[in-house]
Amino acid sequence: MYNKRMMDFNKKVIAIVVVALLATGSWSCKKEDNEAPEDKLDISNAYRNSSDADAAVIGIYGQFLGLHKTFILQNELRGDLMDVTANADQNLKALSNHTATKDNPYIDPRPYYTVILNCNDALKNFQLMVRDKKMSVDDYNKHYSDIGALRSYIYLQLGIQYGSIPYITDPVEKVDDVKNLSSFPRITFDQLLDKLIAFTEALPYKEVYAYPTGNPLVTTIDGSFTERMFISKPSILGDLYLWKNNYVKAAESYIKIFDYENTNPEFNKSFSWYKVVYTADQWADATVRYGRYQDEATLLFESGWRTMFTLPTTNRIWQAEFLWGIPYSSNFKPGNPMFELCSQQYGKYLVKPSQVIIESWNAQRQNSGIPYDARGRLSYSTSAAGPEITKFTGNTLPASAFNKGGTWGIYRATLLHLRYAEAANRDGKGKLGWALLNNGIINTFYNGTRNAAGAPAPVSFDDIASMRTPYAAPYFMDASSNTDFRGPWYRSTGIRGRAGITNLDVALQTDVLGLEGKLIDEGALETAFEGNRWPDLVRIATRENNPAFLADRVYQKLLKAGDPNAAATRTKLMNPANWYLPFDWK
């Protein structure tokens, strides 16, 4: 009984800490004490027990949340899907057209390292705590693994943006060491990937969710559920292996997430969560839908696909799609930066959808015959002031100049599908990659008996077997469905299927480069403005040894925007050395 009361008490304490620290990002390894020596970073009183460790974790995530704006601008504005408006200053314009110099505030690496140094401090102190028996081994495994994986994720972003960087894993104990960070030796991006894989693989706890139900860090507070606030270790491991072209290891990590809910006794979770399904039910309604078939005027904005970006993290539909997302509190400043960047009414309207992505959405065709991809209509709006990105703000109600809530959705099911499909395609499983991209497992693999309406109606074991992918792990997926049994993938309808978009040519199933390009194109249609575009372009251009894959796309954005230096930028980006931002520690 005592232990239960203490657990309940700790949950209440953590709930308070979540609101205060996450909203403000106020945790720091430096003690605020005017009497402390100015050349020392004093953390002696910060790590006394597990509650302090919990507070450290939340505080670090609060600081990480402060990277949201930088993350979006560097990953989207440097790519081809996001453009600047007339309100943007010269620094933003330079970031967009690849002329940024080292004094540009949008390319300062210090905010990344601020979080990394606090991660290093926490990791060292977690080790001291378990040594001194201030923390159990089980708590240590979870806390250390969580912050270690987050640090790996931040370092991956640094490598993508800057190429060669200092890789610092020890705590910084003197203020002068922080000031002299630029003197630390640098390693190449490829060397960084090797180090990150080795470190992340060695973490003692690598489950899909950072903390299990019952842990004080898993709670509901201020309308938000904290379970998915923390990084999912298999996702970062999968991404690291994908960057290294180790496709089997990448797929093994990704499918661990796909399979995690398969045995959930709530069958709607086992069949729908992370599976990308076409459904209008309360468990996974992230579908592009209309009030009336073939009537484009009845496109649903208040339910379906658009709502998953602005639903609270307590909502089942949000949880069916997102495995990592950090909520903002509307009661605390500074609030969601997407309002400042995108909103005409409540922000500064600095960025907008590029003409490239608008034309890409308009080039698709729906199964109903409507001649465009409705995900575009659900991601931006148009007015006399110009196109406005509304994907993250349109349903955040009640919005105001003082209420800028929402969630930074970092990793979700369709991104997982795209990354896994990329690995499968490169590993000779192009048909599986095509299935996840288009209309799902059954619709792609089933070759058995059908009823008069054309729907699968299996009458033999062979029919049932064809509802499963004909591959061994990590590419086995069971979509079997009859009156006796249903496999966890039987509802799978694929990314384009959920969006109601026509299938791509089946010939792509055996065209590795062609399908890879289509997966990246679909990433634009589905995850535009979410922070994935620049990494996707760099990864594929590097793997294919084809700088034009990246350079041509950026060129088209600048050309359609009327930038007179579009051709010069293309020439510049044909040299991979120019893909990386100047790293300058001021």
How much is the pLDDT for 29? 41
Give the tens place of pLDDT for each residue, 478-497: 999 988 899 999 999 999 99
Distance between CA 326 and CA 407 in Å, rounded?
5
pLDDT higher than 60, residue 452: yes
Query: Is 541 part of a structural domain of the chain?
Result: no
Residue 28 is predicted with a pLDDT of: 42
Check whether residue 358 and residue 212 sit in a common domain.
no
Beta bridge partner(s), residue 277: 492
Last residue of a domain, one of 219, 247, 275: 247
- Give the CA distances from residue 583 to residues 116, 193, 356, 375, 484, in Å, rounded to whole numbers and listed in that order: 16, 18, 29, 36, 60
Provide the residue type at 58 as one letter. Answer: I
Instruction: State the Cα–Cα distance between residues 434 and 429, nearest whole angstrom.
Output: 9
In-domain check, residue 479: no
Mean pLDDT within 242-264: 97
Q: At what angle do helices 137-162 and 110-131 cross, to 10 degrees?
A: 160
* 42 and 174 assigned to the same domain: yes
* Together in a domain, 242 and 362: no
| 192-231 confidence digits (pLDDT tens) | 999 999 999 999 999 999 999 999 999 998 889 999 999 9
Question: Is 242 in the same domain as 131?
Answer: yes
235 and 334 share one domain: no
Residue 7 has pLDDT above 60, yes or no: no
Asked if residue 347 lies in contact with residue 341, where contact means CB atoms within 8 angstroms, the answer is yes
How many separate domains does the chain show? Answer: 2
Range of lowest pLDDT (172-176, 362-366, 560-564): 172-176
Domain match, 235 and 335 both: no
Q: Which of 232, 247, 262 marks a domain boundary?
A: 247
Indicate if 334 and 217 belong to the same structural domain. no
Residue 230 within any structural domain of the chain: yes
Question: HSE-up of 73 (CA within 13 Å, CB side)?
Answer: 29
Q: What is the pLDDT of residues 310-336, one digit of tens each?
A: 899 999 999 999 999 999 987 776 789
CATH number of domain containing 141: 1.25.40.890
**Residue 546 covered by a domain:** no
Confidence category of residue 43, pLDDT binned at 50, 70, 90: low
Rounded CA separation 212/240 (Å): 24
Contact 416, 406 (CB under 8 A): no
Residues 44 and 182 in one domain: yes
Task: For residues 57 and 156, state if they share a domain.
Answer: yes
Query: Residue 414: phi, psi to the nearest 5?
Result: -70, -35
Range of the domain at 139: 2-76+110-247
The predicted model gives 432-440 an average pLDDT of 99
Assess if residue 190 is contained within a domain.
yes
Tell me the pLDDT tens digit for each residue of 525-537.
Answer: 999 999 999 999 9
- Give me the pLDDT at residue 6, please: 36
* pLDDT category of residue 394 using cuts at 50, 70 and 90: confident
534 inside domain: no
- Does 2 score more than 50 pLDDT? no
Q: Provide Rg for the chain, Cα atoms.
A: 24
Are both 61 and 174 inside the same structural domain? Answer: yes
State the average pLDDT over residues 399-410: 76
Q: Determine what percent of the chain falls in helix, strand and coil, rounding each to the nearest 5.
A: 50, 10, 40
Q: Which of these ranges, 12-16, 194-198, 211-215, 450-454, has the smallest mean pLDDT?
A: 12-16
| Alpha-carbon distances of 291 from 299, 300, 369, 490, rounded to whole Å | 6, 7, 16, 26
- pLDDT band at residue 402, thresholds of 50, 70 and 90? low
Q: Residue 281 domain-assigned?
A: no
Q: Is the pLDDT score of 267 beyond 70?
A: yes
Which residue did the predictor score with more confidence, 433 or 279?
A: 433
23 and 115 in contact (C-beta within 8 Å)?
no
For residue 585, what are its two tokens?
């520690």
- Chain-centroid distance of CA 374 in Å reads 22
235-258: average pLDDT: 99
Assigned domain for 380 exists: yes
3-state secondary structure 443-496: HHHCCCCECCCCCECCCCHHHHHCCECCCCCCCCCECCECCCCECCCCCECCHH
At residue 227, the pLDDT reads 96
Highest mean pLDDT among 40-44, 282-286, 550-554: 550-554
Q: What is the mean pLDDT of the chain?
A: 90
Q: How far apart are CA 202 and CA 371, in angstroms?
A: 50
Whole-number pLDDT of residue 340: 94
Answer whether residue 12 shows pLDDT above 50. no
pLDDT per residue over 173-190, tens digit each?
665 566 677 778 999 999
Q: Are residues 57 and 146 located together in one domain of the fold? A: yes
Question: Does residue 154 surpass a pLDDT of 60?
Answer: yes
Which one of 226, 247, 268 terminates a domain?
247
- How many other C-beta atoms can be found within 10 angstroms of the C-beta atom of residue 382? 12
